[in-house]
Structure 1
Amino acid sequence: MKHFNYIFTGTGLAALMTVYEMILSKKTEDKTILLIDSDAKKTNDRTWCFWDDSNHFEEIIYKEWKNTLFANENYRKQLNIEPYHYKMIQGTDFYKFIFNEISKHENIHFLQEKVIDFSELGNHCLVKTEENNFTCNKVFNSIFNPNLVTSQKKYPLLQQHFIGWFIKSKESVFDENAATFMDFSVKQKGNTRFMYVLPTSKNEALLEYTLFSKDLLSKKEYENEIELYIKNLGITEYEIVEKEQGNIPMTCYPFWKNNTKNIINIGSAGGWTKASTGFTFKNVTKKSKELVSFLETNSDFTKFHKKDKFWFYDLLFIDVLYKDNSIGSKVFSGLFQDENSGLILKFLDEETTLFEDLKVILKCPKIPFVKALLCRIFR
Structure 2
Amino acid sequence: MWSSNFYYVIVGGGLAGLQLALEFSRDLFFKGKSIAIIDPNLNNQGDKTWCFWEKGAGKWDDIVTKNWEKAKFISSTTNKTLELSPYTYKMIRSVDFYTKVKKELEATGDFHFIEDEITTIDPVRMIAEGRKRGYTATHFFDSRISSEYLEDPKSSKIFQHFKGWVIETEKPQFDRSVFTMMDYRLKFKESTSFTYVLPLSENKALVEFTFFTPFLTEEAVYDEYLKNYIEHILKIENYKITESEMGVIPMTDYPFHSESIPEITKIGTGGSWVKGSTGYSFKHTEKKVAQIIENIHAGKAPSKDLIKNRFGWYDGIFLDVLKENNDLGEDIFSKFYTKNTPQEIFKYLDEETSLSEEIKIMISLFHPVFIKSFFRKTF
Give a deviation string over 1:246-282, Cα, whole Å, max 9, x none: 0001111111221222112110111110000000101
Q: Is the 8 A contact 2:196 2:210 kept in 1?
A: yes
Label 1:319 to 1:339 Cα distance change in 2 as closer, same or farther (>3 A).
Answer: closer
Q: Letter of the aligned partner of 1:245 in structure 2?
A: M
Q: Is the 8 A contact 2:340 2:361 kept in 1?
A: no
Q: SS at the partner of 1:45?
A: coil
Mapped to 2, the partners of 1:237 and 1:36 lie a distance apart of 44
Q: For residues 345-364 of structure 1, what are the structure 2 equivalents within 5 Å?
A: 345-364=346-365
Quote the sequence identity (%): 33
Q: CA deviation at 1:25?
A: 2.7
Q: Is the 8 A contact 2:161 2:216 kept in 1?
A: yes
Partner of 1:263: 264
Partner of 1:10: 12
Partner of 1:51: 53
Q: Is the 8 A contact 2:168 2:241 kept in 1?
A: yes
Q: Is the 8 A contact 2:313 2:377 kept in 1?
A: no
Q: Letter of the aligned partner of 1:362 in structure 2?
A: I
Q: For residues 1-379 of structure 1, what are the structure 2 equivalents within 5 Å?
A: 1-56=3-58, 57-111=60-114, 113-122=115-124, 124-145=125-146, 147-232=147-232, 233-298=234-299, 300=301, 303=304, 305-338=306-339, 340-378=341-379
Q: SS at the partner of 2:7?
A: strand
Give a deviation string over 1:281-326, Cα, whole Å, max 9, x none: 0111111111121122346456454443212111111111111111
Q: SS at the partner of 2:254?
A: coil
After TM superposition, the score normalised by the length of structure 1 is 0.95
Q: CA deviation at 1:104?
A: 2.1
Q: SS at the partner of 1:194?
A: strand
Q: SS at the partner of 2:298?
A: coil
- Measured on the aligned residues, the alpha-carbon RMSD in Å equals 1.6
Mapped to 2, the partners of 1:120 and 1:71 lie a distance apart of 50
Q: Which runs of 4+ in 1 moved over 6 A?
A: none
Q: CA deviation at 1:76?
A: 1.4
> Which consecutive unaligned segments of at least 5 residues does structure 2 have?
none
Q: Letter of the aligned partner of 2:207 in structure 1?
A: L
Give a deviation string over 1:97-125, Cα, whole Å, max 9, x none: 111210221211111x2314232242x52
Number of aligned positions between the proteins: 375
Q: Letter of the aligned partner of 1:256 in structure 2?
A: H
Moved more, 1-10 or 24-33: 24-33
Mapped to 1, the partners of 2:352 and 2:341 lie a distance apart of 17
Q: Letter of the aligned partner of 2:72 in structure 1?
A: L
Mapped to 2, the partners of 1:134 and 1:271 lie a distance apart of 25
Moved more, 366-375 or 60-69: 366-375
> Which consecutive unaligned segments of at least 5 residues does structure 1 have?
none
Q: SS at the partner of 2:108?
A: coil
Mapped to 2, the partners of 1:41 and 1:200 lie a distance apart of 26
Label 1:306 to 1:71 Cα distance change in 2 as closer, same or farther (>3 A).
Answer: closer
Mapped to 2, the partners of 1:338 and 1:201 lie a distance apart of 31
Mapped to 2, the partners of 1:359 and 1:182 lie a distance apart of 22
Q: Letter of the aligned partner of 1:35 in structure 2?
A: I
